Every structure is written in C-alpha cells, then in structure tokens.
Structure 1
Amino acid sequence: MARDSYDDDRVVVIERDGGGNGVGMLLLGLAIGAGAALLFAPASGAETRARISREARRAGRRVKDMTEELSEQLADQAERARSAVDERVGRARGAVHSRVDAVNEAVHAGRDAARQARADIESAVENSKRVYADSRRAYSAHSRRGRSDEPGPVTDDLPPRAGAEGAADGRTGEG
C-alpha cells in the first residue's frame, strides 16, 4: 500500500482550558519561582530569607487582591443571574395572573349566559303551558256548547273522539 506524503507529517494537538484554575497556576508559578530564586541567589542566608519574606508578602497581597476581585466578579454575576431570574419569574407570574383572570371572566360569562338561557327556557315553557291551558279551556267550552256555528278548532286539528260521531248516526268506532 502506497503512503501519501501527508501521512508522514506529525500532528500535535494542544488543548487549552479557557476556564482553568488561574489562581492555582499562579500559586504554582510563585512556588517554582521562589525555589529557583533560592537556588540561584548570590546573597547571604539572612538576605535571602528577608527577600523571600518580602516576596511572600507581595504574593499574599496579590492573591488577596485577586481573590477579592474574583469574589466581586462572582457576586456581580450572581446578582445579575438573580435579577434575571426574578424578572422571568415576574413575567411568568404576570402571564399566569392574566390567564387566570381571562378564565375567570369566561366562567362568569358562561354562568351569566346559562342563567339567561335558563330564564328564557323557563319563560318559553310557562308560555307554552299557558297557551296549552287556554286552548284546552277553549276546546272544552266549545265541546260543551255543542254549537257548530261558532268559530272553534277545525275538526282536522282535533283528535278523533271514540264513539261521539258514530253514536249519533248509528256507527260505532269499530270498522
């Protein structure tokens, strides 16, 4: 199998950690630097100890400043996140309240419509009962009088009475 020229190239991949532990690396660098300073120091032991002490205090101040700055940044980010969450919760509550209000309005409107429909139906039923009773009274009055010259219900509209006409002319209701 033939190899292409690009197969011989070596590839090195370097990964960078953008959110790494910068404070830890700083402290490691300080420790390595202090050790190197001790090894290559041309000064006496007392001078070297004094210099290490000064550098340690400076490093301590730097670390303190960095931690204060980091804590301020974290507090700012936490405050921004809290305010964003509060804003979203407020909007969600407003949306829920408006939907609850809309549902309540719809329920009230439905109840009002049902009451009105019931009143209309009850009125129509009462009216039908009154008309039916009036027509029954008129029919009864007409039947009692037995007069055919007065206006009354048309015989086609009335239910057949068993034996009423048949008894008059000798016929029975049987066929």
Structure 2
Amino acid sequence: MARDSYDDDRVVVIEKDSTNGIGMLLLGLAVGAGAALLFAPASGRETRERISREARRAGRRVKSMTDELGDRVADQVERARFSVDEQVGRAKDAVQSRVDAVNEAVSASRTAASHARADIERAVEHSKQAYADGRRAYGERTRRTSGEPGPMSDELHPRNGAEGAEDGVAGQG
C-alpha cells in the first residue's frame, strides 16, 4: 500500500483531560503536606509558620508546573499549526498543479480541434471541387453522346481562346 508523503509527519494529540491528572497530583500534595503538619509534634506557632512556608513552596511549585505545562501546550499547538499549514500548502500546490495540467490539456485540445477543423474544411473544399469537376466532365460527355456540338473524341480540343490552348491553335489530332 503506497503512502503519501504527508503521512510521514508526526501526529500531535492534545488531550483535554491531561490537566485533570496534574490537578489531582497537586491536590494530593497539598492534602499530604497539610496532614503531615497537623500530626507533627510542634507548637501552634511553629506549625503555622511551617504551614505558611509549605504553602508558599507548594504555590511556587504549582506556578512552575503550570508555566511549564503552558509552555509545552503552546509548543505543541505551534507544531500542530505548522504541520497543518504545511499540509494545506501541499494540498494547494497539488490542486494548482492539477489545474495547470487541465488548462494545458484544454489548450492542447483546442489547438487540435482547430487543426482538425482546418483539415476538414480543406477536405470539404477538395470534395466540392472534385464534385464540380465530375459534373462538368459528365456534362461534356453527355453533350458529346447526345449530338450537341462539341468535341467528339475523348480528347478535348481547345477552342479559340480556351484554356490550355497552345500557340492559339486548335488542337489537332
């Protein structure tokens, strides 16, 4: 089975639910950190300071992870956009080459039709001329056999001023 060249490109799939797993991970981290702080043997003040510190740290991690995730998604979207643009360009080029081929074929067929028409017109003219020559020859032959004045032999003798007369002298024969 032949493969088109555009099938070789990588396919990028972006899932809508991919952020749900990260959100659950972050929620689990926050709940675990909070539980660890609550069950730790420390004074209230130390526990509050530790919770505050861990919350800031978790906030920085979440921000870092969301920034990284955003960068990844943006990069994947850009790659997908580039791939689509490239495939659209290839499709446009393919369509244009087909349009050009059709235009060339139409032009060639018009030229061939024009030549064929000229050939047919020449053939019709030759046929008309041959028909007229045949009718003229038939008429002359009919006149000869019916006794009308005219040449009596198969050989037509030129008359005074007739075409084909040589030296202005009637044919002798």
Same fold per superposition (TM over 0.5): yes
Distance in 2 of aligned mates of 1:35 and 1:87: 52
Unmatched segments (≥5 aa) in structure 2: 1-17, 146-150, 157-173
In the alignment, what sits opposite 2:30? 30
Distance in 2 of aligned mates of 1:150 and 1:22: 114
Distance in 1 of aligned mates of 2:59 and 2:155: 121
Pick the structure with greater CA Rg.
1
- In angstroms, what is the RMSD of aligned CA positions? 1.8
Deviation of residue 113 (structure 1)? Answer: 0.7
Distance in 2 of aligned mates of 1:138 and 1:61: 114
- Larger relative contact order (Cα-Cα within 8 Å, sequence gap ≥ 6): 2
TM-score by length of 2: 0.70
- 1:71-117: per-residue Cα shift (whole Å, max 9, x none)? 00000001001101111110111011001110111111111111111
Opposite residue 155 of structure 2, the aligned amino acid is: P
Deviation of residue 148 (structure 1)? Answer: 4.4
Opposite residue 34 of structure 1, the aligned amino acid is: G
Deviation of residue 33 (structure 1)? Answer: 2.3
Q: Structure 1 stretches (4+) deviating beyond 6 angstroms?
A: none
2:38–2:47 Cα contact (<8 Å) kept: yes
Deviation of residue 58 (structure 1)? Answer: 0.9
Opposite residue 39 of structure 2, the aligned amino acid is: L
Deviation of residue 26 (structure 1)? Answer: 2.9
Deviation of residue 150 (structure 1)? Answer: 2.3
**Percent identity over paired residues:** 59
Count of residue correspondences: 133
2:30–2:58 Cα contact (<8 Å) kept: yes
Distance in 2 of aligned mates of 1:84 and 1:51: 49
In the alignment, what sits opposite 1:163? none
Unmatched segments (≥5 aa) in structure 1: 1-18, 153-175
